[in-house]
Amino acid sequence: MPPASIPLRFRCLLLAAAALACTGAAAQADAGYPNRPLRVVVPYPPGGNTDDMTREVMKELSARLGQTIVVDNKPGANSIIGTESVAKSAPDGYTLGVVIGAYAINQSLYKK
């Protein structure tokens, strides 16, 4: 099924589920999680589909968690700049990253 035919509501739900899955280990380690703002890195320019969808999902997630979520756009290098900043962040569950299916091709295109 092509991505365009998947309903927006379902895509948002999948994105939220992925974001919550990434925070599971940190939530178990800290009973008060989240006790400070979360950061979501979008490795694409502001105003694009990925950014818009992420912001909509994060509004709902922020309301449910009762915590501020900051969306940080870090575009460039076919999303490598943003994803690299997530990989180098502290492994505390407060920095999340968003990528799309096209990210999978980077391994065959770039050495690093």
Residue ranges and CATH numbers for the domains of the chain are 3-109 (3.40.190.150)
Q: Are 75 and 84 in contact (CB under 8 A)?
A: no
Q: Please give the angle made by the CA atoms of 53, 69 and 20, to the nearest 5 degrees.
A: 70
* C-alpha to C-alpha distance for 40 and 72, rounded to whole angstroms: 6
For the question of whether the overall pTM of this predicted structure is more than 0.85, the answer is: no
pLDDT score recorded for residue 65: 93
pLDDT digits (tens, 9 = 90+) for 39-68: 999 999 999 999 999 999 999 999 999 999
What whole-number percentage of the chain has pLDDT above 90? 52
pLDDT score recorded for residue 58: 95
